[in-house]
Amino acid sequence: MSHSLATSSVTRTILVIGKESVGKSQLVSSLTGHAAGEMNFRGSTVVVERYKSEDAEYIDTPGILRSSDSETTRLALNALDEHDVVLLVVQATSLDQDLTEMLPLVVGKHGAVVVTYCDKIQPGEAAHEAFERLSAEAGVEFIPVDARKLSDRNRQEITHALKKRTTFQRAALTARAGWRIEPKPGLLEHRIIGPVLAIFLLVLPALATIYGANTVADQLHPIVASWLEPVIATVNATWPTWLKIVLTAQEGEFGYGLLNMGPFLLVWALPTVLMFALILGAYKASGLIERINVTLHPLVRPFGLSGRDVVRVMMGFGCNVPAVISTRSCSTCSRGSAISAIAFGSACSYQLPATLAVLSVAATATGTQPVVLPFLFLGYLLVTTLIYLRLTSGAQARSSLNVLMTPSRPFMQWPTVSALWREASGTIRQFLLQAMPVFVLICVVASLLAYIGVLDLASRVLGPVMSLFDLPAQAALPIVMASVRKDGIFLLAADDGLAFPMTAVQVLVAVYLAGVLLPCLVTALTIARETDWKTTSRLLARQVGFAVLFAVILAWGGKWLL
């Protein structure tokens, strides 16, 4: 349930602010003992987390990067104007730098400073005296904690400090902690091994999805299908036509109504999203994702992305909707590139299983080794996505002088179960509450369009165009359907076999064109909601042009590969 940021039904509202990866969410979750709810920034679709205790409501804002022009940073800064009580969270390992950057934002506010990662510094009298000096000059209490193991005493100290309503008095301090602690370089920082390891870790969620979630779905799908077969038969035999159109719409032997495709969403897509979210949650909670970002930053910058954007593109392999929404934290100069990469190159949880199923059937039908076609498809998708980004991203985003979003190396730690679920639950929640309703709507619209003949007309009109890609005319319908919903790729393998004779190269071209010609309507609508229709229309037109070009090259050049 969404609320205005200014609305509160409790005694106090406390705004929690700090830089990225300082442990704000873990701290507030431990402090209140409650899971997060959701609310929106006033006048914005940006979601923040809300934690309630008995007498207070804590608003956990997105991490602030002072050098960033991202939407989330801008809105977090604007929120400071609306709240008087602030809990500033800084990291002990970089305490002086964090205070230099953050204190100017909170001067004049009431509140306290919580210093996290205190388990990384040397405990003792020297550290205690440093916190006292800083507290005396700043005008507010400094409370050192380990956010992952918050004690009852820590909770009492934080609560008491906030109730005192002391004021942040100085924008800059002459006192200094005098230490800066950085983690030792590891394998990811190795000049040669690091990039290779980072790339492997980045694609690991996709590999786990392919061989993990899809294995589970393979076992569940026949069971669920057998349960639904009599229901579908009953609907087709006895129910009114208008309900059959929506529930069991057929295109030849392929049904794409709600009863046909709903189980696909739950059996195939949900395990994919769940596994992807848990793996990425472990990456984030442990600090591994930041290490990967640092390593990959120099490699992806020439393509208009920062190291921080790469994980958002990989999120798209689980579900494009939360991936696009997460680009709110991207820099303005790289957000467009990140959204383009998601729309063009992230094979979502609908597309991946459909693509693998078609390629598996094609390998059997053409006598090709089973691993060859998926390898060629994913390789060509990666290469063409990078070329697409290189040619379409802005010069500022590609500039070597642009260090706006260059990440720093964090400490690694084993993720707790609560931290893992906190990181993963947001993605799963967005899939269930945002992607699924749009999926249902699109099912209904696509069924109606098919019933009145629009989809069939589109496939007939586009049939002759298929010769440009050396494809049979029948391939037009799966490509049209995949532009509505990516599971339409299944039409290329109707009746558990190739729907029409094709060579291995033709299957690759058909699957590639169906996958990248346009993002599915769920993704397109999300992009339009996050940007605007003019920007979205321009992105879609550009993607169509490049997809056609790359598909033609694959169609006529791929014959040399297979």
199 and 160 share a domain? no
Query: Within a domain: residue 171?
Result: no
Instruction: Give yes or no for a contact between 289 and 311, defined as CB atoms under 8 angstroms apart.
Output: yes
Strand partners for 52: 57
Q: Which helix (H) or strand (E) holds 192?
A: none
The pLDDT score that the predictor gives to residue 5 is 42
**Residue environment code for 66-99, b if the CB has 16+ CB neighbours within 10 A, otherwise e:** eebebbbbbbbeebbeebebbbbbbbbbbbbebb
143 and 282 share a domain? no
224 and 347 share a domain? yes
The pLDDT score that the predictor gives to residue 4 is 40
Instruction: Give yes or no for a contact between 523 and 324, defined as CB atoms under 8 angstroms apart.
Output: yes
476 and 543 share a domain? yes
pLDDT digits (tens, 9 = 90+) for 56-88: 888 887 777 655 556 666 666 766 777 888 899
The pLDDT score that the predictor gives to residue 7 is 42
The pLDDT score that the predictor gives to residue 356 is 77
Instruction: Return the half-sphere exposure (C-beta side, CA atoms, 13 A cut-off) of residue 81.
Output: 6
Last residue of a domain, one of 146, 164, 182: 164
**Separation between Cα atoms, residue 424 and residue 285, nearest integer Å:** 10
420 and 461 share a domain? yes
The pLDDT score that the predictor gives to residue 250 is 63
- Ranges in the chain, pLDDT < 70: 1-11, 34-48, 65-76, 78-79, 210, 213-214, 250-256, 261-265, 268, 349-350, 400-409, 434-435, 438-439, 442, 494-497, 499, 562
Query: Within a domain: residue 187?
Result: no
Query: Within a domain: residue 178?
Result: no
Give the chain's end-to-end CA distance (angstroms, integer). Answer: 53
What pTM does this model have?
Answer: 0.72
262 and 118 share a domain? no
126 and 209 share a domain? no
The pLDDT score that the predictor gives to residue 552 is 95
* Parent domain of 204: 193-404+416-560
Query: Within a domain: residue 33?
Result: yes
206 and 138 share a domain? no
- The string of DSSP codes covering 67-83 is T---HHHHHHHHHGGG-
**Separation between Cα atoms, residue 57 and residue 55, nearest integer Å:** 7
The pLDDT score that the predictor gives to residue 39 is 46
The 8-class DSSP code of residue 184 comes to P
The pLDDT score that the predictor gives to residue 141 is 92
202 and 128 share a domain? no
**Separation between Cα atoms, residue 386 and residue 345, nearest integer Å:** 9
Domains held by the chain: number? 2
CATH number where 124 lies:
3.40.50.300
Query: Within a domain: residue 230?
Result: yes
206 and 338 share a domain? yes
Place of tokens 């379409």: 392
Query: Within a domain: residue 411?
Result: no
- To the nearest 10°, report the CA torsion of 273, 274, 276, 279: 170
Mean pLDDT for the chain? 80
The pLDDT score that the predictor gives to residue 70 is 61
267 and 142 share a domain? no
The pLDDT score that the predictor gives to residue 427 is 72
**Separation between Cα atoms, residue 46 and residue 76, nearest integer Å:** 10
28 and 103 share a domain? yes
Strand 85-91 relative to strand 110-116: parallel, antiparallel, unpaired?
parallel
Last residue of a domain, one of 164, 180, 209: 164
Query: Within a domain: residue 258?
Result: yes
Last residue of a domain, one of 164, 184, 211: 164
The conformational region for residue 240 under phi > 0 = left, psi -120 to 50 = alpha, else beta, is beta
Query: Within a domain: residue 186?
Result: no
